[in-house]
Structure 1
Amino acid sequence: MLKKSVTEISEDLKSLYIETAKKLKGSDRRQFMAQVVQGLGIGGQTFAERELGWNRRTIRKGTEELTSGQAFIDGRSRSGRKKIETKLPNILEDIKSIVEPKSQTDRSFKSTRLYTRITSEEVRRQLIVQSGYQEEELPSSETIRRKLNDLGYSLKRVLKSKPKKKIAETEAIFEQIEKINREADEGSISPLQ
């Protein structure tokens, strides 16, 4: 018994196939395409390539996945930017050596995280100074901040120094200075006393 050959399908069905394939990814998409082509019968691959804009190699890969029952691992999992540790293998150890002396544990011992007051920008500067990295090869301070979090360090906000509160003697000192200045302006005391 021969399978039917495809001659025509409606425009609605074409657009449904195309939109569905666009919404699917990876193995699901390939297997969907293969099922559609198998349903079309003899000449289905040619028809799908010409009318639906699908790639024959993708359809064949989907057909192999359907017959074997196993999805093929495609190269997408290996694509993208590599971690900074692959480019600079010692970076995590160097970051630890800079941050460790300036870290402390949680006072309440509720967590195992370490707290540090050094900023990620300062860690980046210290990597250049202490470890000899070049400015261009180092990641951004945001990446260093993420690596610090991955290593278990929590960054504490570095507080700006606050002015000390006035003490009681301050007013008396300024009153004395104002008195001396007034007397000097009036000429009642000589400036070299």
Structure 2
Amino acid sequence: MAIVLTDSLKKLLIETASQLFGAAKRKFMAQTVQGLGLGGQRLAQSELGWNRDTIRKGTRELKSGIICVDNMSAKGRYKAEEHLPNLLEDIKNIVDSQSQIDPSFKSQRLYSRLSAAEVRKQLIEKYGYSDEKLHTFLFNSSQIK
């Protein structure tokens, strides 16, 4: 006997799953698929758009009682270099021209008298970066006290 999901049931299952995250979402998906019976994973994949790997992970968690820890901290935003590929090189060009060696020669470090706000200003003036693009990556002069 083939299982048929009505449109209203599909909508309910999809909306409920979208409101859950991590282990709770996987548990819901696994329990739903178990309720659908044989062929439930394929049905959930084709009709609900659920990932079968996620369903399997949830099923293993249900059977074993061991919940996998999600590495949510690794899902941060992309590095600035991915959005602005020339940013690092442009910052180096600005800072290198204003850098000097430690006057006491006690270290190999270079020092610069430029503030973050000044580097930001020069990126906009010399390299044509927009204020909006730099807003999330570099300090805004109003944020620096």
Normalising by structure 1, we get a TM-score of 0.42
Matching of residue 68 in structure 1 with residue 64 in structure 2: yes
Tell me how far apart the structure 2 counterparts of residues 36 and 29 of structure 1 sit (CA, whole Å). 11
Matching of residue 57 in structure 1 with residue 41 in structure 2: no
Partner AA of 2:55 in structure 1: I
Cα deviation for residue 81 of structure 1 reads 4.7
Q: 1:27 to 1:63 in 2, by over 3 A?
A: same
Which residue of 3, 10, 17 maps to 2:13?
Answer: 17
Matching of residue 32 in structure 1 with residue 22 in structure 2: no
Residue of structure 2 equivalent to 1:106:
none
Q: 1:6 to 1:59 in 2, by over 3 A?
A: farther
CA deviation vs aligned residue, 1:26-46 (integer Å, no higher than 9, x gap): 111111000000010101001
Cα deviation for residue 141 of structure 1 reads 3.8
Partner AA of 1:72 in structure 2: C
Partner AA of 1:29 in structure 2: K
* RMSD, aligned CA: 3.6
Tell me how far apart the structure 2 counterparts of residues 6 and 24 of structure 1 sit (CA, whole Å). 28
Tell me how far apart the structure 1 counterparts of residues 53 and 24 of structure 2 sit (CA, whole Å). 15
Q: 1:6 to 1:37 in 2, by over 3 A?
A: farther
Which residue of 109, 112, 118 maps to 1:128?
Answer: 112
Partner AA of 1:75 in structure 2: N
Cα deviation for residue 22 of structure 1 reads 0.7
Tell me how far apart the structure 1 counterparts of residues 77 and 7 of structure 2 sit (CA, whole Å). 41
Tell me how far apart the structure 1 counterparts of residues 50 and 77 of structure 2 sit (CA, whole Å). 28
Tell me how far apart the structure 2 counterparts of residues 77 and 66 of structure 1 sit (CA, whole Å). 24
For the pair shown, the structure with the greater C-alpha radius of gyration is: 1
Runs of 4+ in structure 1 over 3 Å off: 139-142
Q: 1:129 to 1:26 in 2, by over 3 A?
A: same
Q: 1:140 to 1:9 in 2, by over 3 A?
A: closer
Partner AA of 2:52 in structure 1: R
Partner AA of 2:138 in structure 1: S
- Identity over the aligned pairs, expressed in percent? 47
SS of 1:15 mapped into structure 2: helix
Whether the 8 Å CA contact 1:6–1:41 is kept in 2: the answer is: no
Cα deviation for residue 52 of structure 1 reads 0.8
Tell me how far apart the structure 2 counterparts of residues 47 and 9 of structure 1 sit (CA, whole Å). 9
Normalising by structure 2, we get a TM-score of 0.54
Gaps of 5+ in 1: 83-126, 147-154, 156-193
Q: How does 1:1-193 map to 2 (within 5 A)?
A: 6-81=2-77, 128-129=112-113, 135=119, 140-141=138-139
SS of 1:140 mapped into structure 2: coil
